[in-house]
Structure 1
Amino acid sequence: MARPAGRSDMDETVLEMLDRNADHAETFDTRFEGLEHEQHPDAVTVCCSDSRVLQDHLWGNDEPGHLFTCGNIGNRVVQRTGAGPRVSGDVLYPLAHTNTDVAVVVGHTGCGAVTATYDKLTDGSAEPPGIEHCLDLLAPGLESGVDRLPAGLSREDAVNHLVEYNVDRQVEFLLDSDDVPESVQVVGAVYDFQDAYDGKRGEVHVINVDGETDPDALRAAHPEIDSRVQRRWTY
Structure 2
Amino acid sequence: MFKRLAVYMALAGSLLSVAPCWASSTTTTVTPDQALSMLMAGNREFVKGEVEHLEKMSSPARRTDLVAGQHPYAIILTCSDSRVPPEILFDKGLGEIFVARVAGNVASASELLGSIEYGVEHLGASLIMVLGHSKCGAVTATYDSHIAGTLPPKNIDSLVKAIDPAVTEVLATNPTGTKAEVVEECIVENVKKVAESIEVNSPIVKEYLELGKVKLVKAKYDLATGVVTVLR
TM range (shorter): 0.5 to 0.7
Q: 2:215 aligns with which of 180, 185, 198?
A: 185
Provide the C-alpha distance between the structure 1 equivalents of 2:72 and 2:88, rounded to a whole number of angstroms: 16
Provide the C-alpha distance between the structure 2 equivalents of 1:143 and 1:178, rounded to a whole number of angstroms: 27
**1:156 paired to 2:167:** no
Aligned twin of 2:68: 37
Matches within 5 A, 1:42-191: 42-61=73-92, 63-79=93-109, 88-148=113-173, 150-176=174-200, 177-180=202-205, 181-182=208-209, 183-191=213-221
Residue 125 of structure 1 deviates from its aligned partner by 3.4
Alpha-carbon contact 2:72-2:95 (below 8 Å) kept? yes
Provide the C-alpha distance between the structure 1 equivalents of 2:194 and 2:72, rounded to a whole number of angstroms: 21
Residue 55 of structure 1 deviates from its aligned partner by 2.0
Which of the two has higher C-alpha Rg?
A: 1
Provide the C-alpha distance between the structure 1 equivalents of 2:157 and 2:191, rounded to a whole number of angstroms: 19
Q: Which structure 2 residue ranges, 5 or more long, are not aligned?
A: 1-54
Aligned length: 170
Provide the C-alpha distance between the structure 2 equivalents of 1:141 and 1:205, rounded to a whole number of angstroms: 19
Provide the C-alpha distance between the structure 2 equivalents of 1:95 and 1:60, rounded to a whole number of angstroms: 21
Alignment RMSD (CA, Å):
2.0
Provide the C-alpha distance between the structure 1 equivalents of 2:146 and 2:116, rounded to a whole number of angstroms: 26
Residue 39 of structure 1 deviates from its aligned partner by 1.1
Identify the structure with bigger relative contact order (alpha carbons < 8 Å, sequence gap 6+): 2
Residue 80 of structure 1 deviates from its aligned partner by 5.2
Secondary structure at 1:171 match in 2: helix
Aligned twin of 2:228: 204
Alpha-carbon contact 1:41-1:65 (below 8 Å) kept? yes
Task: Give the letter aligned to residue 33 of structure 1.
Answer: T
Q: Which structure 1 residue ranges, 5 or more long, are not aligned?
A: 1-23, 82-86, 195-200, 208-212, 214-235
Residue 112 of structure 1 deviates from its aligned partner by 0.7
Q: Deviations over 1:50-95 (max 9, x none)?
A: 111122100011x2110001111001122158xxxxx622222201
More helix by share: 2
Residue 187 of structure 1 deviates from its aligned partner by 0.8
Runs of 4+ aligned structure 1 residues displaced above 4 Å come to none
Q: Return the TM-score normalized by structure 2.
A: 0.67
Distance change >3 Å, CA 205–CA 151, structure 1 → 2: same
